[in-house]
């Protein structure tokens, strides 16, 4: 099992717990080359599609940015797993999510708060990194470790420079944007679970606790009007 496969397996129980009942229509934003949760959704009886420029070929996948995708019909649920932090226009994407949903549809978000990826967390992760997978490019954590060693800067400055260069949204910005569309006292979209935190994306085989917090997993119910 690759690290990406392990990540999907680790996150699937959380995502599954917030889904509407099958055979609901589910759209996954940023399913990636492995297809994200679409295979598991399909096995579970859901009518699932994955949208990503690097999506696999075949039925159920659309190789296009979510901003350019037009769903043929409203969906019951949108899943976004560590895909919102690198979209170009976060507000536009969330508006399009609302437009893609049926009234009172569900949104399940698993997201990374990179600004909470402090030096203690980085050192913990780097000390436990497995060697790069054969015949593949080094993973992002391997690259961050190499860049930090070469930069000669404190970790916080190195991480901030990388995130700025990549145009990454912070976890705080994503939470504010979601809260601004919430129900139940915080706008048209309401959070229905408390955030929990774990290690950075795509890292598995971790103990129960570690220094720092960098993954934000939140179940969200979207009750927005269709646009």
Residue 185 has pLDDT above 50, yes or no: no
Q: What is the mean pLDDT of residues 159-186?
A: 83
How far lies 165's CA from each of 82, 131, 145, 162, in Å?
18, 26, 16, 5
Residue 148 has pLDDT above 80, yes or no: yes
**188: which residues sit within 8 A by CB, 6+ positions away?**
98, 180, 181, 182, 222, 223, 224, 225
CA distance 110 to 48: 18
| Confidence bin at 1 (pLDDT 50/70/90) | confident
If phi over 0 gives left and psi between -120 and 50 gives alpha, with beta otherwise, what is residue 187? left
CA 60 and chain centroid, separation: 19
Q: Which of the residue ranges 95-104, 135-144, 166-175 would you say has the lowest mean pLDDT?
A: 135-144
> How high is the mean pLDDT of the chain?
82
Q: What is the pLDDT of residue 104?
A: 84
Q: What is the pLDDT of residue 121?
A: 93
């Amino acid at each position: 099992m690759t690290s990406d496969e392990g990540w999907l397996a680790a996150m699937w129980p959380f995502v599954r717990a917030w889904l509407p009942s099958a055979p609901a229509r589910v759209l996954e934003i940023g399913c990636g080359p492995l297809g994200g949760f679409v295979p598991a959704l399909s096995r579970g009886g859901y009518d699932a599609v994955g949208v990503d420029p690097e999506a696999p070929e075949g039925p159920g996948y659309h190789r296009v940015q979510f901003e350019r995708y037009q769903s043929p019909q409203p969906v019951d649920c949108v899943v976004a797993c560590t895909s919102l932090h690198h979209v170009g226009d976060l507000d536009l994407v969330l508006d399009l999510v609302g437009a893609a949903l049926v009234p009172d549809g569900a949104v399940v978000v698993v997201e990374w708060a990179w600004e909470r990826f402090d030096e203690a967390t980085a050192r913990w992760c780097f000390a436990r990194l497995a060697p790069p997978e054969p015949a593949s490019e080094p993973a992002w954590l391997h690259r961050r470790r190499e860049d930090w060693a070469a930069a000669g800067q404190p970790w916080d400055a190195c991480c901030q420079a990388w995130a700025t260069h990549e145009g990454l949204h912070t976890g705080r910005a994503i939470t504010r944007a979601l809260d601004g569309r919430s129900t139940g006292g915080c706008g048209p979209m309401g959070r229905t679970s408390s955030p929990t935190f774990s290690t950075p994306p795509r890292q598995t085989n971790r103990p129960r606790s570690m220094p720092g917090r960098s993954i934000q997993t939140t179940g969200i119910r979207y009750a927005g009007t269709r646009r």
